[in-house]
Amino acid sequence: MSVYAGMNDGTARLNILCDLRSDTVTRPDAAMRQAMAAAEVGDDVYGDDPEVNRLEAELAEMLGKEAGLFLPSGTQSNLVAVMSHCGRGEEVILGRPYHVFRYEAAGASVLGSVALSPLDLTPSGGLSPEAIRNAVQPDDPHHPVSRLLSLENTTGGMAVPLPETRAAADAARAAGLAVHLDGARFFNAVTALGCAPGDLAGIADTVSVCLSKGLGAPVGSVLVGPKDLIARARRHRKMLGGGMRQAGVLAAAGRHALAHNIAGLAADHTRARTLAAALTALGAGRVRQATNMVFFAPDAGDAAALKPALARRGVLIGGPAPELRFVLHRDIGDDALDLAIAAFRDHYGG
Ligand SMILES: *Cc1c(COP(=O)(O)O)cnc(C)c1O
């Protein structure tokens, strides 16, 4: 089953007390809905939507970039970034488990005519300068032209340290490549690294940030970068069908998220540590935790059975067997976390 697949076995009808499948399940709260209802809107394809314009400018400013572009999804934001950096027959170097390589239906290749060259990750989730140098193609008509390094942070929950991220970007730049950062969970990374947004964003030319994961907005991502590239990205967004009209109702949710929901990410990370400690204490399998994610490989090999057993107790989990993924987010408070931990104890008799 896909990491992102829902429960297609009827459990959706049960009372869901704690949904650990992903931080994408977060729903807009009352204050965010109020901000959406009050949004001043216009036709964004004409550049007339004030809320969208404000969101793009605010996130660009926060990350120290010239311009921003609001898009319907992180997938489209990454695709538009790749298409704006690379031409037909050119190549992106990236991590093998990264979203752009594994979870975007190969859109960069299918729709962008761009080749993808995947590398294995370092233990901290980054790409080694040596591996990058070896992957850059020599100037030879047999090969695609290496054009872009695409990083991801956080990746698999891991906040890749700044020095390692910088070293990878330096290796790419020395070979004439540009650098994109898939920062779907950019603010989880910044929170865990304890750095300013500009410290991480400054390493890359373009950064894609999701508003619809831990930040709690219902829809949307923003791509930030240099003015001329964002102008090209705007054309690609239209080409891909991502030009939205009165999108200010969505941008208002994103602006609300940036203003109010970043600080809460630290609490998600703390709750992930609490869950990891409780699972470790059960002694039922291998546990890993990074930022807001916990990964669990049960010794009993009962990952497939665990899902419906927990679902019957109102706890939803994700991830393909043998390693399950539990994601903490703003809709899981301490009470919901306690319920989840009790359900795990129940199941394993702890
Ligand atoms: C979720 C995610 C995306 C894509 O975002 P969607 O809005 O779901 O298309 C891209 N990259 C990473 C690392 C993600 O986790």
In this structure, what CATH number is given to the domain that contains residue 295?
3.90.1150.10
Mean pLDDT of 293-322: 88
pLDDT of residue 96: 97
Cα 338 to middle of ligand 1, angstroms: 28
Q: Which residues constitute the domain of residue 178? A: 39-260
Average pLDDT over residues 121-132: 98
Give the domain CATH number at 184: 3.40.640.10
139 Cβ neighbours under 8 A, 6+ residues apart: 145
Is 32 a domain residue? Answer: no
- Is residue 163 situated within a structural domain? yes
> Which residues, judged by CB distance below 6 Å to any ligand atom, belong to the binding site of ligand 1?
73-75, 78, 99, 152, 182, 184, 210, 212, 221
Q: How far apart are CA 218 and CA 212, in angstroms?
A: 5
Indicate if 56 and 162 belong to the same structural domain: yes
* Per-residue confidence (pLDDT) for residue 12, from 0 to 100: 52
Based on the fold, state whether residues 83 and 213 are members of the same structural domain.
Answer: yes
206, 257 in Cβ contact below 8 A? no
Answer whether 225's CB lies under 8 Å from 207's CB: yes
**127 and 245 in one domain?**
yes
Let me know whether 48 and 98 are in one domain: yes
Query: For residue 33, is it within any domain?
Result: no
| 34 in any annotated domain | no
Q: Are residues 241 and 326 in the same domain?
A: no
> What's the pLDDT band for 8 if we cut at 50, 70, 90?
low
Among 260, 280, 315, where does a domain finish? 260
Phi-psi label, residue 211: left if phi above 0, alpha if psi -120 to 50, beta otherwise = alpha
pLDDT band with cut points at 50, 70 and 90 for residue 3: very low
Q: What is the pLDDT of residue 304?
A: 83
Q: How many domains does the chain have?
A: 2
The pick from 4, 24, 75, 215 for probing ligand 1's pocket by mutation, whose C-beta has the most ligand atoms within 8 angstroms, reads: 75
177 and 51 share a domain? Answer: yes
The whole-angstrom separation of Cα 107 and Cα 87 is: 14
What's the pLDDT tens digit per position in 40-59? 999 999 999 999 999 999 99
In the reported structure, the alpha carbon of residue 59 is separated from the centroid of ligand 1 by a whole-number distance in angstroms of: 18
Whole-model pTM: value is: 0.95
What are the φ/ψ torsions at residue 68 (nearest 5 degrees)?
A: -135, 160
CA angle 74, 174, 123 (to 5 degrees): 55
| Both tokens assigned to 325 | 């993924």
Burial of 313 (0-12, 13-18, 19+ CB in 10 A): middle
Burial class of 126 by CB neighbour count within 10 A (0 to 12, 13 to 18, 19+): buried
- Same domain? 272 vs 255: no
Cα distance between residue 106 and residue 134, in whole Å:
23
3-state SS, residue 294: strand
Q: Which of 32-36, 63-67, 283-287 has the lowest mean pLDDT?
A: 283-287
Given pLDDT bands bounded at 50, 70 and 90, which one contains residue 321?
low
Q: How confident is the model at residue 14 (pLDDT cuts 50, 70, 90)?
A: low
Task: Judge contact between 169 and 127, C-beta under 8 A.
Answer: no
Strand, helix or coil at 67?
Answer: strand
Distance between CA atoms of residues 166 and 150, nearest Å? 13
Coil, strand, or helix at residue 256? helix
Q: Give the list of residues 6+ apart from residue 345 with CB closer than 8 angstroms, or none.
A: 278, 282
Condensed to tens digits (0 to 9), the pLDDT of residues 245-304 reads 999 999 999 999 999 999 999 999 999 999 999 999 999 999 999 999 999 999 888 888
Please indicate, yes or no, whether residues 208 and 243 belong to a single structural domain of this protein: yes
Tell me, yes or no, whether 127 and 168 share the same domain: yes
Distance from the alpha carbon of residue 101 to the mean position of ligand 1, in angstroms:
11
Domain boundary among 217, 240, 260: 260
Which residue owns the Cα nearest ligand 1 atom 4?
Answer: 74
> Of 260, 280, 304, at which residue does a domain stop?
260
Residue to probe by mutation, ligand 1, list 103, 155, 237, most atoms within 8 Å of CB: 103
Q: Whose C-alpha lies nearest to ligand 1, atom 8?
A: 74
Q: Strands (DSSP E) along the chain, which ranges?
A: 18-19, 67-71, 90-95, 115-119, 145-152, 178-183, 206-210, 221-225, 285-290, 293-298, 315-316, 324-327
Q: Which residues, including other chains, have CB under 8 Å from residue 252's CB and lie 6 or more apart?
A: 35, 36, 38, 39, 51, 55
Residue 220 and residue 237 share a domain: yes
**Atom 14 in ligand 1: which residue has the minimum CA distance?**
184
Distance 210 CA to ligand 1 centre (A): 7
* 75 and 217 inside one domain: yes
Domain shared by 161 and 290, yes or no:
no
Give the Cα separation of 276 and 127 in Å (integer): 27
What gap in Å lies between CA 120 and CA 128, rounded to an integer?
9
